[in-house]
Chain A
Amino acid sequence: MKKNSIIVLALMVTAGCSSKSAVTPDQVTPDQVTTNQATPLAVPSLPSGYGFDQWQTGPLGDAFFEFDSSTLSTEAQEQLKQNGIWLESNALKKALVEGHCDERGTSEYNLALGDRRATSVKEFLVRYGVAPSRLETVSFGEERPFAAGHNEESWSKNRRAHFVQK
């Protein structure tokens, strides 16, 4: 089921979602879903927290992480491959990869963890063939959360490597 979701995401990305992505969760219509026989993707409460949301406004999708982890899940790797394809066909474009964490734990450790998340995303894309000079990394730790809630639903959205096209 998750794989189907990824395929939908991938199709949408490669179909050329422009800078203001139309693929916010509440805009996914039943029609779009039934074509792939899958449940709606990126429902806010998706257990893994993975998927598109209103904070991804560019052609490059974000990678999400488990608690205290900078390891790339299969889903994250699939997303990054799509990002890699886009970067390949837009060879002049650069991107900033921001590492983010949820608010739990302590802020210094989260700043380091965010740095590791951004770095592991960059390393994956460099291995994929993207020139290192096209990818800059930074960490915001827990300083700039996306979702404001104090529960797993928000936390899962805040554990991410966020792409900003340069």
Chain B
Amino acid sequence: MFQLFNRVVPSIFFAFFCLVILPLNLSAAETGEYIAIRKEGSGNIALVLDKLDANGTKESRFAQSLDTIMYDGLDFTKLFALISPPLNVRDYSDKKNVVINFGALTSVGAEVYAGGSLTRKSGMINLDMKVYDASGSKLLLSKTYTGREEGLRSIGHAFCADLVELLTGKKSVFGSKIVFVSNKNGFKEVYECDFDGYGVQQLTNAKSIAMNPAISPDGRSLAYISFAPGRPTLYIRDLAGGTIASVGKSGVSIDPGWRNNSEVAATLSLDGNQAIYLVKTDGSLSKRVTNNKSIDISPAFSPDGTRMAFVSSRNGLPQIFIQDIQSGLVKRLTFSGRYNTQPSWSPLGDKIAYTTWEKNGEINIFVINTDGSGLLQLTQNNGENKSPSWSPDGEMIVYTSNRQGKEKMYVMSSKGGNERLLLQGDDLQTQPSWSLFR
């Protein structure tokens, strides 16, 4: 019996293994190998990002801009230790073939080398990039990125995205957006900006109070709360088509969170009780999720949409709970801290970020595993830190802090550290939410 078991299981496993592995092409398999090596060494990836080669005045100017865009982009992720390229890194003695001097790279401690050239043809930019494993002198990536001259940022970031995905095996932040509330025009309106604070755009102009914007996983819909009709009301806007659905004929609507591309959950006090409902993008109600006499707010879903973290006052002061959507079973997640709110479920599914209002008056951001273990404090001694939201790769968290006076957006590593201001300005910035799409 045992022998049979021993014989059958490995062969099933092997069959499964083949199914998973065989469809992948060679370069992806090599990439997997590289990622495996990296995980053991952990820490930042020692990268030499070389200056781009370019011929011609205009080309050189574009190349310089792209150098900066790519450097700043990769630096923003804090995944890399960016090493200045050694002087003799490229050998031009053979005019047809530029030779990389891997010896020079390893002597400065580089693990990875990225370099390339820029050419221009009828208003289009071609960026040819090559990435090498510096120690093994193995080519990891060779790809051409093409785009219009005005789109240098997206050309450069497309390469950055590929590089991060190649080296970490995870989605990057490049191309993702952050929606937030600002009082720039004297009212609270919804704005969006790129992941790095670049390119701020105003999305609402209701001259009222807007709250808690959240973009659907596919980036097509924006849910937010607006006081424009006189009461806080849930709006769901189709960002491409511009159509808007509103929800809730009575009571208030609070803090929407997307379950998937077609369903958003929010608190609606339709019968006087603050309960969480699932709402379709056309504004119709699909399901009541919580049914408790207390306050239930701030739904945040697991990536597969089967579980929902939320805030409830069912035990007195607000704490975070997790509810299984299908069974309705509820489990309390937070036991440390008397006032825990604003849960945000990590895109990898394993952690939840939230805020604790502490006895000393500070509000701080914590991360906890979904099983309640591994509690980690991310901010301290810096006033009120609120509204954490994960980057799509799970590496960073955007939040607000009043550490320099006015409440403003900051980003930090999701393991803590590297806290920095995201967006300058005199405005008040609140309730940021990082999109999953890119």
Contacts and interface: CB of A to CB of B under 8 A. Distances in A.
A112 B267 contact: yes
Most central of A104, A109, A139 by chain B CB within 10 Å: A109
A119 B212 contact: no
A106 B252 contact: no
A104 to B, nearest CB: 7
A143 B386 CA distance: 16
A107 interface: yes
A17 to B, nearest CB: 26
Contacts of B230: 138
Contacts of B211: 107-108, 111, 143
A106 B363 contact: yes
B274 A108 contact: no
B269 to A, nearest CB: 5
B172 interface: no
Given A116-B295, A139-B232, A143-B227, A109 B251 contact: no
B433 interface: no
B391 to A, nearest CB: 21
A68 B252 contact: no
B255 A116 contact: no
Nearest to A70: B295
- For this complex, into which size category does the number of interface residues on chain A fall? 20 to 34
A105 interface: yes
A84 B28 CA distance: 74
B253 to A, nearest CB: 9
B342 interface: yes
Contacts of B209: 143
B251 A115 contact: yes
Interface string B257-281: 0000000000101001010000000
Interface in A108-140: 108-109, 111-113, 115-116, 119, 123, 137-140
A151 to B, nearest CB: 12
B78 interface: no
Contact of B255 (A105, A108, A137, A140): A108
B297 interface: yes
A52 to B, nearest CB: 26
Interface in B296-325: 297-298, 311, 313, 317-318
B289 interface: no
Given A106-B357, A138-B230, A111 B341 contact: no
B297 A115 contact: no
B254 A111 contact: yes
B343 to A, nearest CB: 11
A112 B269 CA distance: 9
B251 A68 contact: no
Interface in A71-109: 104-109
Contact of B341 (A109, A119, A141): A109
Contacts of A115: 251-252, 254, 269, 274
Nearest to B355: A106
B221 interface: no
Interface in B179-237: 188, 209, 211-212, 227, 230-232
B252 A111 contact: yes
A138 B209 CA distance: 14
Given A115-B274, A116-B274, A119-B272, A109 B227 contact: no
Contact of A119 (B269, B317, B342): B269
B232 A106 contact: no
A105 B297 contact: no
B317 A68 contact: yes
A137 B251 CA distance: 7
Contact of A109 (B188, B232, B252, B311): B311
B339 interface: yes
A108 B355 CA distance: 12
Contacts of A104: 357
Contacts of B232: 111, 138-139, 141
A69 B24 CA distance: 58
Contacts of B342: 106, 108
B431 interface: yes
A116 B297 CA distance: 13
B430 interface: yes
A106 B386 contact: yes
A116 B273 CA distance: 8
Nearest to A141: B232
A140 B295 CA distance: 16
A113 B312 CA distance: 11
A133 to B, nearest CB: 12
A161 to B, nearest CB: 14
Interface in B274-292: 274
14 contacts: A68-B317, A104-B357, A106-B357, A108-B254, A108-B297, A108-B341, A109-B318, A111-B232, A111-B297, A112-B295, A119-B269, A119-B272, A138-B230, A143-B227
- The list of the 5 closest CB pairs from A to B, nearest first, reads A108-B255, A112-B295, A106-B341, A112-B274, A138-B231
Given A104-B357, A109-B341, A112-B295, 8 more contacts: A108-B254, A108-B255, A109-B298, A109-B318, A115-B251, A119-B272, A138-B231, A143-B209
Interface of B: 188, 209, 211-212, 227, 230-232, 251-252, 254-255, 267, 269, 272, 274, 295, 297-298, 311, 313, 317-318, 339, 341-342, 355, 357, 363, 386-387, 430-431
